Amino acid sequence: ELYETPMKSPLDCLFGGVCCCISAAKQRHELLVITGEPYICCAGLCQAGPCGEPQPEIPCLLLEVFLCPQMALSANRFFVQSRFGLMNTATDNTLMAATAWIAMCANYAACFMEMKYCCRDCFQIDLDGPCLEIQLPVREMFVLADLAFLCLNGCMYAQQQVEIDGMQRGRYNGPPQAVLQALPPNLQACMGGAPQQLMMS
């Protein structure tokens, strides 16, 4: 469960939340070593053009994690779940949805305030009514959304790292066949080329 990870792996949770770019790169590299697969942008979530094909891990992984850290962490989650046959719990989905909802509220508040000032300043329309007197704490809402995402990043990283550490101590036998058949053909080809059994140190 995501909410349990701060107590079970506090250092991983802190590392994943504060250093999300570095932690996402470290985690993806470990996943590629375990599975023996080549690097694919966003773990194959983006299938457009060269993004769906194998690329050099350096510098492409670094570009991914520093330009799109949230996408990189989500891609790592997809990688862990699709290769190890795992899935989110209902609590995990609820925490992710709540974080997205907080960000959505902040964006709607910013949009409302911009429209209010745009009508007055750009179009010289001075609308009356109690709605226009509302002052929303937009900056504080964005800070809250950022904190929620950092907490979620830390929890996701720690939860995924527990699974990776367990796989490194055991044996990787390839992804479950049901999951493999549901993936796009070019991703199946990359995964099919990976060794089916690796001894982990």
- What was the pLDDT predicted at 196? 39
DSSP per-residue string spanning 148-175 = HHHHHHHHHHHHHHHHHHHHHHSEE---
- How is residue 88 written in tokens? 């989110």
Closest CA to 20 of 95, 88, 73: 73
Look-up: residue for tokens 């080329």?
193
Taking residues 72-87, what's their average pLDDT? 89
- What was the pLDDT predicted at 200? 28
Q: Three-state SS for 46? A: coil
Q: For residue 160, list its beta bridge partners.
A: none
DSSP per-residue string spanning 88-117 = --HHHHHHHHHHHHHHHHHHHHHHHHHHHH
* Percentage of the residues of the chain whose pLDDT score is greater than 70: 87
Phi and psi for 151 in degrees, rounded to 5? -65, -45
CA distance 92 to 145: 17
- The pLDDT confidence band at residue 37, using thresholds 50, 70 and 90, is confident
Helix-, strand-, coil-residue percentages of the chain, each rounded to 5 = 75, 5, 25
Q: Model-level pTM?
A: 0.78
Sorted by sequence, the CB contacts under 8 Å of residue 40 that are 6+ apart come out as 51, 52, 53, 54, 55, 187, 190
Round to the nearest angstrom and report the end-to-end CA distance of the chain. Answer: 26
* Percentage of the residues of the chain whose pLDDT score is greater than 90: 36
Phi and psi for 127 in degrees, rounded to 5? -85, 140
Does residue 112 have a pLDDT over 90? no
Sign of the dihedral defined by the CA atoms of residues 180, 185, 189, 194, in that order = negative
- What was the pLDDT predicted at 158? 92
Closest CA to 162 of 8, 7, 3, 25: 8
- The pLDDT confidence band at residue 134, using thresholds 50, 70 and 90, is low
